[in-house]
Amino acid sequence: MAELLATPGTFAFAGDDGFVIARAAAGEAEILTLAVAPTAQRRGTGSALVTAAADCARRLGAQFLFLEVADGNLPARALYRGLGFIESGRRKGYYTKGREKPEDAMVLRAGLPLSALGKNRAPR
């Protein structure tokens, strides 16, 4: 984590219940990691972390925010969809776990600032 955070353009937001790490470079940004403690999920923390990362990426000059999510990670996919992310690509068999069948990664993209049309739209 320390090495990652020392990489130019990399930043993080963290609280007691979760964290997000992202990187911005050359007009684009990427969410590298997002996690919320199981005991604290479904209270808006994940959405707040992604929104904070998106705002920061925009201030750093990014016009688009990308991320990868496992095809079967339905909670995360629902979160990102609610914030306005759309699928922009797919990496076949990207995630491997022991002897389990490799899982595709969906590449998602959102323009910045986020303009969610869904229920997680930030209050104005």
Ligand X SMILES: CC(C)(COP(=O)(O)OP(=O)(O)OC[C@H]1O[C@@H](n2cnc3c(N)ncnc32)[C@H](O)[C@@H]1OP(=O)(O)O)[C@@H](O)C(=O)NCCC(=O)NCCS
Site residues for ligand X per CB under 6 A: 34-36, 41-47, 69, 73-76, 78-79, 82, 120
Centre a 10 Å sphere on the Cβ of residue 30 and count the other Cβ atoms it contains: 21
Give min distance, CB of 1 to ligand X, in A.
15
Least distance in angstroms from the C-beta of 7 to ligand X? 19
Alpha carbon distance 36, 22 (integer Å):
15
Query: Between 61 and 104, whose beta carbon lies closer to ligand X?
Result: 104
Select 61 or 121, whichever has its Cβ closest to ligand X.
121
Q: How far is the CB of 100 from ligand X (least distance, A)?
A: 16
How many helices (H) and strands (E) the chain has is answered by 3, 6
Q: Are 120 and 47 in contact (CB under 8 A)?
A: yes
